[in-house]
Structure 1
Amino acid sequence: MAGLGGLGHLAVKLAVALGARTSVISRTPDKADEARSLGAEGFVVSTDAGQMEAVRDRFDVLVDTVSAPHDLTPYPRTVAMDGTLSHLGHLGPVTVNTTDLLVGRKKLSFAGSVGRPSTAAVLGFCAEHNITADIELLPSSPVNTALERNAVRYRFVLDMSDLD
């Protein structure tokens, strides 16, 4: 997985429950313990050239869950021959060097809504494997505080019971 935020932490949990050997790629080393606590076996700091070189052509699938605009350039190089870079997080324009995909017959995929039956199947799988989103619960009255705060692990959920 690339990214360990609101979507990424769930992707790690799902991959682990499916039996995948899972690694997390992050910009900084501060999420390594968190990634391992979710079940990831490996952790790679994307800003460390040596670590990125060590995982060159390693991953069958790399799921990019980073929600902000970011450079995709290093990611195709980590994908193994016939592997897939699946871009899920950022919904804006992306640029990718197609040569990095061509060498190794790599694929770039995007995912949209899969419809109700598939969503129900994933929710059933999550229920069966006790996969839930890690959240920070806040009362709804200070909603502006939640909106102004830039740091959350992993999602804010507002408790509406304080409303009349």
Structure 2
Amino acid sequence: MLTRAFGAHAADKPLEAIEIFRREPGANDVQIEIAYCGVCHSDLHTVRSEWAGTLYPCVPGHEIVGHVTAVGSAVDKFKVGDTVGVGCMVDSCQSCYACADGLEQYCEHGFTGTYNGKTPDAPGHTLGGYSQSITVRDKFVVKVSHPAEKLAAVAPLLCAGITLWSPLKHWNTGPGKKVGIVGIGGLGHMGVKLARALGAHVVAFTTSESKRQDAVALGAHEVVVSRNAEEMQAHANSFDLIVDTVAVSHDLNSFINLLKRDGTLTLVGAPEHPHPSPMVFPLIMKRRSIAGSTIGSIAETQEMLDFCAEHGIVSEIEMIKVQDIETAYARMLKSDVKYRFVIDSKTLAA
């Protein structure tokens, strides 16, 4: 089945209207008409080949919300008309230890990304959500129960939301815990909202004084300008968990020193260049940890979506036409978005 999409044919070429192939639903597949697709910084990294291995044509997009238009004969969890979501994965081996534990994002053979992953479908790699439709294995589709008027703002939860939810839950965020969120962007603003809703005392870290009131409005109990040494020192040895969402190389030592004994600094931002190596003594003298976390499992994603629906949580977004994607990318590079662009998929028909 041919469908309209927006993609690039090379790293130095702009995204443009193209037609792509989508398979007809097999026994275990769900066919989805895409209503909205969030714009993630990973989309930009991939389409510009800033990360190695981009396959062209490249159609990005892994924050997908839409409606089921067909299901395979073996599908019993979904029916035509259901509102559903697709995140960063569309398959995994389903046989390794990670998959057996329900942690597909850590598949030992590598999960299949929603775009730029190997697939038998033409053209040999997956094509993402900057498109009118997608066909996905049912195990990698999640239900969305937010009201219709919130669906555009739900889309970024499929990446930005779950990327923060997974570490917050893994490190037992809740009442009595002090949690820091470093960076108040597309990822960080979701971290503030989710940590607050989970009952933690939330401190937002930003390099910009101008973001102080925004962070409070998002739900932070306190805001620290990380360039202010006195503000940082006031929180020394006090955090159970700090989640660092910043996607540029920076010094981690100042945040390590804010952790309690046995506290954890978890990195979810993926910088283009490595962080400077942290000092060892602040780690070993208080049994502190530096950890990493990537997206979340399908079960975690469903849990997160249900929690967000119950608590009225969505992303803060700016809706765009797909034809404005290059302008959106340029603005993303300037951090000129509060806090996530979302493509209105109806504009693909223009």
TM range (shorter): over 0.9
Tell me which amino acid in the other structure corresponds to 1:71: D
The aligned counterpart of 1:143 is 325
Q: Which runs of 5 or more residues in structure 1 are unaligned?
A: none
Q: CA deviation at 1:98?
A: 2.1
Larger Rg: 2
CA distance in 1 between counterparts of 2:217 and 2:295 reads 29
Matched residues, number: 164
The aligned counterpart of 1:156 is 341
Q: Please give the residue correspondences for 1:1-164 in structure 2 after superposition, counting only pairs within 5 Å.
A: 1-91=181-271, 93-94=274-275, 95-149=277-331, 150=334, 151-164=336-349
Look up the SS of the partner of 2:246 in the other structure: coil
CA RMSD of aligned residues (A): 1.4
CA distance in 1 between counterparts of 2:254 and 2:212 reads 19
CA distance in 1 between counterparts of 2:296 and 2:327 reads 34
Q: CA deviation at 1:160?
A: 2.5
Conserved 8 A contact 2:246-2:271: no
Q: CA deviation at 1:64?
A: 0.7
Look up the SS of the partner of 2:329 in the other structure: helix
Q: CA deviation at 1:91?
A: 4.9
Tell me which amino acid in the other structure corresponds to 2:217: S
The more displaced of 20-29 and 97-106 is 97-106
CA distance in 2 between counterparts of 1:106 and 1:163 reads 49
Q: Where do 4+ consecutive residues of structure 1 move more than 3 Å? A: none
Look up the SS of the partner of 1:33 in the other structure: helix
Look up the SS of the partner of 2:182 in the other structure: coil
Tell me which amino acid in the other structure corresponds to 2:220: A
- Residue-by-residue CA offset, 1:117-161 (whole Å, 9 max, x unaligned): 122111211111111111111122222211222211111112232
- Residue-by-residue CA offset, 1:95-117 (whole Å, 9 max, x unaligned): 22221211211111111243211
Q: Which runs of 5 or more residues in structure 2 are unaligned?
A: 1-180
Tell me which amino acid in the other structure corresponds to 1:122: M
The more displaced of 26-35 and 97-106 is 97-106
Structure number with the higher helix fraction is: 1
Conserved 8 A contact 2:193-2:313: yes
Look up the SS of the partner of 2:232 in the other structure: helix
Q: CA deviation at 1:18?
A: 0.4
TM-score normalized with structure 2 length: 0.45
Tell me which amino acid in the other structure corresponds to 1:157: V
Conserved 8 A contact 2:319-2:342: yes
Look up the SS of the partner of 2:294 in the other structure: coil
The more displaced of 134-143 and 83-92 is 83-92
CA distance in 2 between counterparts of 1:152 and 1:112 reads 23
